[in-house]
Chain A
Amino acid sequence: MIFHLSIRKMTEYLDGQLAENQLLKTQTHLDNCTKCQKKMKILKISEKILQVPENPLDTLRNRILDNIIEVKWSVSSPVIGEIQSVIGLASVKSRKTREELEAFPGMVLRKDDILKTGNSSKVLIKWKDESEFYVNEKTEIDFSEPQYPISLQLGEIFAMMKPQRELFEIKTPSTVLAVVGTDFDTKVTGNRKTILQVVKGKVSFKSKTGDVLVKKINRQNHLNTLNLLSQKLKIYNRFKVGLSPSTRI
């Protein structure tokens, strides 16, 4: 039976991970085995493909540094969460510094920020307690209001909340949603109407006309709504792992 080098061994050989005696043994095998030589050649050609062409780095350096201008930092505002994924164009504006930045994964959000998503864009936010907010297109969220962690001005968020030790309230133009630890979808329409759909748990819905406790949707009466929410959840979960949702939500 003829033994050949495993890809693991070839990887260790290529990356200089082998001890001297193993290196010698591998080299001897390579000298005598045409099949392994061919495989190794493919891997070495791949290395060459991934070379970086010569680039005048000094010119690029100067171009970068010429465009570095004074900016105001907002380090003093508390961190509330972090952007996990972005599809399309979204922006974050600090109320304190007035600086507007493009949103990107790994960007920290602060208490004085306003997040806006554009057409066909979506953002996934991880809150500091690991709760997740999937922000749909054409949405505006204000994080700067002192008494509310989130103020949804327009658009839609799908929240998957961790159990809250303290009252977590989301403000919309017409209501306040008090959340304990639940999954729900809330939408503010162009005419400032708030639509709430609860998938799991309970959300208290406070408006000028009084308080209502909204429970998860009754399966028999609202099958279509449930299907829609379950579809949304699937799309958001695809988004979470970095896939681009093909369906418009």
Chain B
Amino acid sequence: MNENLTLSYLYSERDKQTVEQNITDVEIIKSVLEGNKDMFSHLVDRYQQMIFGYAFHLCRNRATADDLTQETFITAYKSLDRLKEPGAFPGWMLGILKNKYRNLARDNKIPTIPLSELGIDLPDSGQQETFSQDDLDKIVKYVYSLPEKYKEVILLKYVKDFSYKEIADILGIPVSTVTMRLIYGRKLLVEKAKKDGLL
């Protein structure tokens, strides 16, 4: 893991100043641990969209995703001295998020709101001729039933259009593994569609 990783592609407009100053996650974390609590806001700016996006697709519920994002950041802050490699901060946070989601899903039934009600621009059968609404519903099921390791890389690819290298850094896996998971995950989607007669 590159300790000097500067994920400039994640920065929001507000964080441009930080980009200019080229402050890395490692430097921010060091500063927070030295008592500069306010520096944590830079990490929130950098990663809240990634965490929210990931949380949203875990639970498909905006309010729950909001709560999970908030709790993930708070746990990450309180446990910052428990992070082995500061350069691995985003992947470490995903671990916290997934653990929180598992505990939540185990104890509670999370109401899942259909994608059509969440403002996601999914083409309906009227806009495109290839697939019926029934087919589209099936594709949604294929995506959500993908094994986590494949869904995860496809999700990170689309949440912020991360490069393969960026996904590899976040998850702490080699770029070649990211490439293979992206290919194999998509292969599974196409195979399911074939099996159901969509192709």
A residues apposed to B, CB below 8 Å:
7-8, 10-11, 15, 17, 35, 37-39, 41-43, 45-55, 57, 60-61, 63-65, 67-68, 70-71, 73-75, 79, 82, 86-89, 92, 99, 101-102, 104-110
Given known A55-B62, A57-B12, A60-B66, contact A41–B130 (CB-CB < 8 A): yes
Report A-chain residues with C-beta under 8 Å of the C-beta of B81. 73-75, 108
B41 part of interface (Cβ distance < 8 Å): yes
Given known A99-B78, A104-B99, contact A88–B48 (CB-CB < 8 A): no
Query: Quick check: B158 and A47 within 8 Å, CB to CB?
Result: yes
Report B-chain residues with C-beta under 8 Å of the C-beta of A8. 183
Q: What DSSP secondary structure best describes chain A's contact surface?
A: mixed
> Measured between C-beta atoms, what is the minimum distance from B97 to chain A in Å?
9
Q: Can you list 12 A-B contacts with CB-CB less than 8 angstroms, sorted by A residue number?
A: A39-B190, A42-B199, A48-B121, A49-B115, A51-B121, A60-B48, A64-B69, A68-B74, A92-B82, A104-B96, A104-B99, A108-B81
Given known A57-B48, A61-B44, A88-B106, contact A45–B136 (CB-CB < 8 A): yes
> Measured between C-beta atoms, what is the minimum distance from B180 to chain A in Å?
9
Report A-chain residues with C-beta under 8 Å of the C-beta of B7. none
CA distance A226 to B164 in the complex (A): 47
In the complex, which of the residues B52, B80, B100 contacts A73, with contact meaning CB atoms closer than 8 Å? B80
CA distance A92 to B164 in the complex (A): 35
CA distance A92 to B81 in the complex (A): 13
Q: Which 3 residue pairs of A and B lie closest in terms of their CB atoms, listed nearest first?
A: A52-B53, A73-B81, A106-B95
B residues apposed to A, CB below 8 Å:
12, 33, 37, 40-41, 44-45, 48-49, 52-53, 56-57, 62, 65-66, 69-70, 73-75, 77-84, 91-92, 95-96, 98-100, 102-103, 106, 115, 118-123, 128, 130-131, 136, 139-140, 142-143, 154-155, 157-159, 164, 179, 182-183, 186-187, 189-190, 193, 198-199
> Measured between C-beta atoms, what is the minimum distance from B113 to chain A in Å?
10
Report A-chain residues with C-beta under 8 Å of the C-beta of B158. 47, 50-51
Query: Quick check: A53 and B56 within 8 Å, CB to CB?
Result: yes
Query: Quick check: A64 and B121 within 8 Å, CB to CB?
Result: no
CA distance A86 to B56 in the complex (A): 22
Query: Quick check: A45 and B120 within 8 Å, CB to CB?
Result: no
CA distance A164 to B84 in the complex (A): 23
> Measured between C-beta atoms, what is the minimum distance from B196 to chain A in Å?
11
Query: Quick check: B96 and A65 within 8 Å, CB to CB?
Result: no
Given known A45-B136, A64-B73, contact A10–B84 (CB-CB < 8 A): no
In the complex, which of the residues B45, B95, B155 contacts A61, with contact meaning CB atoms closer than 8 Å? B45
> Measured between C-beta atoms, what is the minimum distance from A142 to chain B in Å?
18
In the complex, which of the residues A61, A75, A101 contacts B48, with contact meaning CB atoms closer than 8 Å? A61
Nearest chain-B residue to A121 (Cβ)? Answer: B103
In the complex, which of the residues A11, A50, A52, A71 contacts B78, with contact meaning CB atoms closer than 8 Å? A71
CA distance A19 to B12 in the complex (A): 30
> Measured between C-beta atoms, what is the minimum distance from A212 to chain B in Å?
38
CA distance A49 to B154 in the complex (A): 11
> Measured between C-beta atoms, what is the minimum distance from B1 to chain A in Å?
12
Query: Quick check: A52 and B139 within 8 Å, CB to CB?
Result: no
Report A-chain residues with C-beta under 8 Å of the C-beta of B179. 11
In the complex, which of the residues A10, A53, A68 contacts B40, with contact meaning CB atoms closer than 8 Å? A68
Query: Which of A52, A92, A109 is the most central at the interface, judged by chain B CB atoms within 10 Å of its CB?
Result: A52
> Measured between C-beta atoms, what is the minimum distance from A61 to chain B in Å?
6
Nearest chain-A residue to B136 (Cβ)? Answer: A45
Query: Quick check: A10 and B143 within 8 Å, CB to CB?
Result: no
> Measured between C-beta atoms, what is the minimum distance from A102 to chain B in Å?
7
CA distance A88 to B105 in the complex (A): 11
Query: Quick check: B183 and A48 within 8 Å, CB to CB?
Result: no
Report A-chain residues with C-beta under 8 Å of the C-beta of B189. 42-43, 46
In the complex, which of the residues B49, B83, B140 contacts A52, with contact meaning CB atoms closer than 8 Å? B49
CA distance A8 to B106 in the complex (A): 36
CA distance A73 to B189 in the complex (A): 45
In the complex, which of the residues A45, A53, A87, A104 contacts B139, with contact meaning CB atoms closer than 8 Å? A45
